[in-house]
A = this chain, B = another copy of it.
Amino acid sequence: MRSVTKDNITEIFMGYVSADADPRVREVMGSLVRHLHDFARETNLTHEEWRAGIAFLEGCAAIETEERHEFVLASDVLGLSSLVDMLHSSPEATSSSVLGPFHVSGAPPLAYGGDMKRHYGGPVLLAEGTIRDTNGDPIPGATLDIWQTAPNGLYASQDQDQDTYSFHGLMTVGQDGRYAFTTVKPVEYTVPSDGPVGDILRACGRHPWRPSHLHFIVEAPGFKPLVTEIFPDDDPYLDEDTVFGVRSDLVMTYVEKPAADFPDGMALSGTLTEPFLHVDFDVVLGRQA
C-alpha cells in the first residue's frame, strides 16, 4: 500500500498524470506542482499561512468583475505578467510590456496629427515616430492603438467623468509609416490598492505607483503584434515600476520646445502659447515566424 509522505508527494502527483495526457500539459503542470511543493517544503508553510493564501484567492474572487481584474493585477505586481512578456519578446524588435487591465477594444479612429487632449488641461505632448521593420523600412498601413490615463491618473473605464474612449485612439499609418498625435503629458498613477493585492503590497512595504507612460498596441499584417508602453526618462518611478514594465529601449526623452516650433497641420484646437513637449519614438516590429 502506498503511503503519501512529504518527500514522495511530488512524484506521486506525476504518477497520477496519464501517459495519454498532452505532453505540454504534463510539462507545465509538472513544473507548476514541483515548484508549488518545493515552495511549501522550503518555507515549511504553516496551516495559517495556507489559509491566508486561500483567503487571498477568495478575496480576489469576491471583487473580480468585468472592470476589476484582481488576478491579473496579482500577476502584474508579482512580476509574472512582465516575465511572460519578456520570454516572448523578439530581440530585434521593440520590447513588449504589460497590457494592463485598462485596454478597451474598438477605440475610435485617430487621423495622423489627431488630438487626444481635447478640453483637458496639462502640458501638451506631441508624440510622433515611424513604425518600422527590423531592416529600418517603414511598415505602411500599420495600426497604432494608443491609450493612457486622463490627467487625474484614471483610465476611462475607471472614471465616470470620462466617456468610454476618452484618451483612447486607433491610428493607421500611411506609406511613410509615420504616426503623430497630441495629448496631455501622461502622469504617474497607482494601481488599485484597496483589494487583496493592495494588502500584499502593504505587507511587503511596497508602493503601488507606476511611472507615467503611453500604452501602444502596434499591429501590421505579417508582423508579430506588439503590446508595449513608453516611459519618459525623468519619471520618479522609472526604477521602481510596481508592475515591472520598464525596459531600457522603452525609455524616451521629452524635449521641451517653444510654442512657435509647434508644427502646422495638427488637429490640436486653439493656439499654443506655452511651450510643448515633443518626443520622436520609432517602434520596430518583428516578422511573424
Is the C-beta of A120 less than 8 angstroms from some C-beta in chain B?
no
B-chain residues with CB within 8 Å of residue A245 when the two chains form the complex:
4
* Copies of the protein in its oligomer: 2
Chain B CB within 10 Å — which of A27, A39, A78, A233 has the most? A39
B-chain residues with CB within 8 Å of residue A233 when the two chains form the complex:
1
Chain B residue nearest to A12 (CB atoms) is B244
Interface string of A13-27 (1 = CB under 8 A from B): 100111111100111
Q: Given contacts A49-B28, A64-B58, A204-B16, are A6 and B83 in contact (CB under 8 A)? A: yes
Min CB gap A141→B, angstroms: 24
Q: Which residue in B31, B54, B69, B78 is a CB contact (below 8 Å) of A33?
A: B78
Question: At the interface with chain B, which of A84-92, A124-132, A169-177?
Answer: A84-92
Q: Which residue in B4, B62, B71, B75 is a CB contact (below 8 Å) of A86?
A: B4
Is the C-beta of A239 less than 8 angstroms from some C-beta in chain B?
yes
How would you classify the secondary structure of chain A's contact residues: helix, strand, loop or mixed? helix
- Bound: A270/B85 CA distance, A: 69
Chain B residue nearest to A71 (CB atoms) is B57
A sample of 23 inter-chain contacts (CB < 8 A) reads A1-B239, A3-B246, A3-B248, A4-B82, A4-B86, A4-B241, A4-B246, A6-B83, A13-B78, A13-B244, A17-B205, A19-B205, A25-B203, A32-B39, A32-B43, A35-B35, A35-B39, A37-B79, A47-B84, A50-B84, A54-B71, A61-B62, A61-B64
